[in-house]
Every structure is written in C-alpha cells, then in structure tokens.
Amino acid sequence: TKAAVIFDLDGVIVSTDDCHYKAWKRLADEEGIYFDKEINHRLRGVSRMESLAIVLERANRPYTMEEQQALADRKNAYYRELIQELTPEHILPGVRPLLERLKQHGIKIAIGSSSKNSPLILERLGLADEFDAVVDGNAIKNSKPHPEVFLRAAEKLGVPAAQCVVVEDADAGVEAALAAGMRVIGVGTAASNERATWTVASLADLSWEDLAKFLAAV
C-alpha cells in the first residue's frame, strides 16, 4: 500500500482562526466575559463545547448546561455567518498544488477535523469533492488530542495508520496524530512543535521532492 495524507482543515487548508476569534469575541462581549487572541489560540483543534469551557473560565458566574448549549449555538450562528464569506481564494498557499501532486501519484488524501462545520467550509472553498475521505466533528466522540478522528480517516481510506501522514497546525492535533501511530508534519503554529515528525512554516515551502521522500520512508 501507498502512503496516505490526512489534512487537518482549520489552519491547514484555510485560516478560519480569525472567524472563530470574531465569533467567540462577539459572544464573550455580549456576556461580559473577558476574551482575547491568546485565549483564542488555546481553542485550536479543540471541539466547540471544550472551547466554550475554556472561554467560560473567565466568566463571573456559573452557566447551566442549557445555557452552555445556547451559548455554543449562538457562537456557531455568528461563526457560520462569517464563514459564508469564504471562497476558493481563501485556500492557503501551497495547498492546491500539493493536493494535485498527491493525486497524480495515486496517494490518497483525507480530511481529519474536529469541526462540525467542515462540510460547509469545504463547500465554500470548492473542495467538497476533492478528498477520498472526510472525517469531521460530526463523526467522532472524542476530539483531539484523542486519535479517533485520524484513525477513522485511515480506516475509511483503507490505509494502515503507520502509512498515514497527518498535516496539522494545532498542538492537540500533533498529539492526536502521534497517538494514532502516524507521522505528523507541523505547519503554521505547529511549525515550532518539537513533537512533530517534520515541520514547515507553510505548505507553500514544502518541496514535492522532500515530501515524496518523507512519504516513502515508512
């Protein structure tokens, strides 16, 4: 079997960080809860409800489960409004050529994301039919750093975990990939993660020759 590549979505294929930030910030402001970019950074790769729990660390009163659900729904409505604006031009540099090369070489590609909004995002980017498998927040019980999302993707592709390479921008995602027994390329904010098997600042900096060698070295 050939290697397969599993891509995280947010921060790897498209930068939705600012949309998440704006949506959480709007919610937090309305609730009188302090929120900033540093707190937002801790939400990378983390599920919506776990993200909310982090946001609520700064709240000055407890919220009931019903209230928490309503807050999460409200944040998501704000977020979906913002991601409606995404277009294929928002695909991050280097992604398209890389997907093309992988396809040319018969290497299977998948999405492994914690986001329940993955279908909408992929559709807005014009990438809904590009991947051999998509496993997202709707299909999993345990979010990263649990390996479930990547193991499910490997299973769907029919490729053993040891032959899968994950591309991740979040520390939680790097840990999830390692826990799945996969090698992981850290990009963007994970480019400084020492646990990653290999790091690049941007997928635009990834030479096909180097990547092909890396994929073959299983």
By CB under 6 A, tell whether 55 contacts ligand G6P: no
d(C-alpha 122, C-alpha 138), whole Å: 14
d(C-alpha 163, C-alpha 32), whole Å: 48
Phi and psi (nearest 5°) for 183? -85, 155
By CB under 6 A, tell whether 45 contacts ligand G6P: yes
48 is known to lie in a ligand binding site: yes
75 is known to lie in a ligand binding site: yes
What six digits make up the tokens of 25? 């910030």
Nearer to ligand G6P (CB atom), residue 101 or residue 116:
116
**What value, to the nearest 5°, has the Cα angle with vertex 21 and ends 20 and 27?**
90
136 labelled catalytic: no
Closest distance of CB 98 from ligand G6P, Å: 20
Radius of gyration over every alpha carbon of the chain, rounded to an integer in angstroms: 17
Q: Residue numbers of the site for Mg ion (CB under 5 A)?
A: 8, 10-11, 45, 169-170
Of the ranges 45-53, 56-64, 95-103, 186-194, which one interacts with ligand G6P (CB under 6 A)? 45-53
8 labelled catalytic: yes
Residues of this chain, 174-213, that bind ligand G6P according to CB under 6 A? none
d(C-alpha 112, C-alpha 122), whole Å: 12
Q: State CA 3 to chain mean position distance.
A: 20
Indicate the annotated binding residues for substrate: 8-10, 24, 43-48, 51, 75, 113-117, 144
Catalytic residues: 8, 10
